[in-house]
Structure 1
Amino acid sequence: MVQKQAYGSVLLKADDILEFLSSDDTQHRLSEIAKHTGLTPPTASKILNTLLLIGYVQKDPDTKLFSLGPRLLKYANKSLHQLSIKRIAQPFLEDLQKATGETVHLGIHEFDHIKYITKIASKKPVSLYSEIGKSIPMYCSAMGKAVLADLDDDDINYYLEKNELISKTENTITTAERLFEEVNLARQEGFAFDNGEHDLDVFCIGSSITVGRTNYGAISISLPIYRLSNEVLESLKQNLLTTKENLIGTLR
């Protein structure tokens, strides 16, 4: 079998450099990096300059020694954070889905959006389409509004400065005043609603998973609006809050 050739040899060389820098906690000279990666000093220097520019490595201005940069470490921590909350939340989500019979999600706050990272679909005849990895705006999602509710008002105002409240459906909240009403209600109740605000025929109830000042994401239950009744809503609230309490208890 013919092995496919990787595209972008410079990326592979950059990976060799990063691998070497991560092998210990010490800083290294350009000559060391070139020797241990099999690169010429000019080639290693060019790649290091690019990695410096994007923050994947850092260079001590006095000693001229290189080490891993803060931006790469931020991504690494983000990845570990996602993997950890997915693993921890999985059994709680499974229990929540069995208790409600509806689709449940786990999402994380990423770049002013909520990103789906786990989903357990309903087995009922009509279930909902959603895609792992998809991101939706915070202002028109139950999980997003629940996460916003855990922020200070100043942080929410900053979010509003950066994000236009664009109508997704006829039910979408498009004013700051209305969004703050929803956020304040979520602060009191411990959950938030998406009542056909992102998808017209979908109702969603979500709650954030925050311990202290650290937010681990949010969980939600989604269902077609036609299946919603007062009795169903009360059951969803109770099961969601119980799941939230149990999950937070595990994270403490």
Structure 2
Amino acid sequence: MSGSTSPMKSVQRSFDVIDVLWELDGAGPTEIAEEMDIPRSTAHVYLQTLQSTGYVVNTDGRYELSHAFLAMGSRLKHRNQIYQASQTALEELAAETGEVVTLIVEEAGRAVFLHIERGETAIELGLYSGITIPLYSHASGKTILSTLSEDRVDEIIDRHGLDSITSETITDRATLLEKLESVRADGYAVDWDQQIEGMGTIGVPIVVDEQLKGSIGIACPTERVKSESYQTELLNRLRETNETITIKYQYGT
């Protein structure tokens, strides 16, 4: 297809434009052209095309992502069966503990935060539904990895690596695999300072009929989660909540 752009490349470039608009929080054709190293006229065509779909809006020559993405993401979340089974139980858990309570699922080898509830004493972590982070850097992610096959875990590590996020992040494959063995045996994971310094996490996997559905977790200040008595209290509450979610997922009650 000499002299023209293939349909596949056009699709990829359209998503690249969306990514740039997201990163820059809006931009004009000149900025898009500079960021993507394409002619300004080409950038303008892509922006106008995206505008015609309703996923980009133009305000005085500045293009921004529209709320159509919000509608789509919200609909995707609310259609998820594990979210439907978890929402009320997570609200109650956050109210009981006062902490941040999370529901994550694995997608493409990363942890997707499907839902977040915040109790009265919860710390602000900058998390929101839809944000993705590595699986290996927090307790809930480790519980998910612990339920996957060795081949799948290796595939995820090979694809995403084990980059250092904080000074406490596990970056050695053998160390992580050893940790996952322990998590698998215990049925839960607890760690601190590996994703965010000063944040501790504890999590349990949601497994229904031997199928992994996600993981629920609690995040709180490191100093709190280091207390063995508090760990035990949170773990008991997580397990009770997990049982409630599993029953509702299976039977809808």
Aligned to 1:187, the other structure's residue is in SS state helix
Displacement of 1:135 in angstroms is 0.6
Q: What is aligned with 1:95?
A: 92
Query: Are 2:140 and 2:205, in contact at CA under 8 Å, matched by a contact in 1?
Result: yes
Whether 1:83 aligns to 2:124 is no
Whether 1:249 aligns to 2:247 is yes
Q: How far apart in 2 are the matches of 1:191 and 1:173?
A: 17
Q: What is aligned with 1:240?
A: 238
Aligned to 1:8, the other structure's residue is in SS state helix
Task: State the superposition RMSD in angstroms.
Answer: 2.7
Q: How far apart in 2 are the matches of 1:193 and 1:79?
A: 29
Displacement of 1:8 in angstroms is 2.5
Structure 1 residue runs without a partner (length 5+) = 1-5, 13-74
Equivalent runs, 1:17-32 vs 2, <5 Å: none
* Greater Rg by CA: 1
Structure 2 residue runs without a partner (length 5+) = 1-46, 54-71
Query: Are 2:103 and 2:116, in contact at CA under 8 Å, matched by a contact in 1?
Result: yes
Q: How far apart in 2 are the matches of 1:250 and 1:125?
A: 26
Q: What is aligned with 2:172?
A: 175
Displacement of 1:216 in angstroms is 2.0
Percent identity over the alignment? 27
Query: Are 1:190 and 1:241, in contact at CA under 8 Å, matched by a contact in 2?
Result: no
- Residue by residue, what CA displacement relative to the aligned partner does 1:50-73 show, whole Å, maximum 9, x if unpaired? xxxxxxxxxxxxxxxxxxxxxxxx
Query: Are 2:100 and 2:116, in contact at CA under 8 Å, matched by a contact in 1?
Result: yes
Query: Are 1:186 and 1:192, in contact at CA under 8 Å, matched by a contact in 2?
Result: yes
Q: How far apart in 2 are the matches of 1:177 and 1:189?
A: 19
Matched residue type, 1:8: T
Range with greater deviation from structure 2 (125-134 or 180-189): 125-134
User: TM-score, normalized by length of structure 2?
Assistant: 0.65
Q: What is aligned with 1:8?
A: 49
Displacement of 1:238 in angstroms is 0.7
Whether 1:135 aligns to 2:132 is yes
Q: Residues 120 and 80 (structure 1 numbering): CA distance in 2 closer, same or farther, change over 3 Å? A: closer
Matched residue type, 1:173: I
Q: What is aligned with 1:230?
A: 228
User: TM-score, normalized by length of structure 1?
Assistant: 0.66
- The one of 197, 207, 210 equivalent to 2:204 is 207
Aligned to 2:121, the other structure's residue is in SS state coil
Q: How far apart in 1 are the matches of 2:50 and 2:175?
A: 52
- Residue by residue, what CA displacement relative to the aligned partner does 1:27-70 show, whole Å, maximum 9, x if unpaired? xxxxxxxxxxxxxxxxxxxxxxxxxxxxxxxxxxxxxxxxxxxx
Q: What is aligned with 2:183?
A: 186
Aligned to 1:199, the other structure's residue is in SS state coil
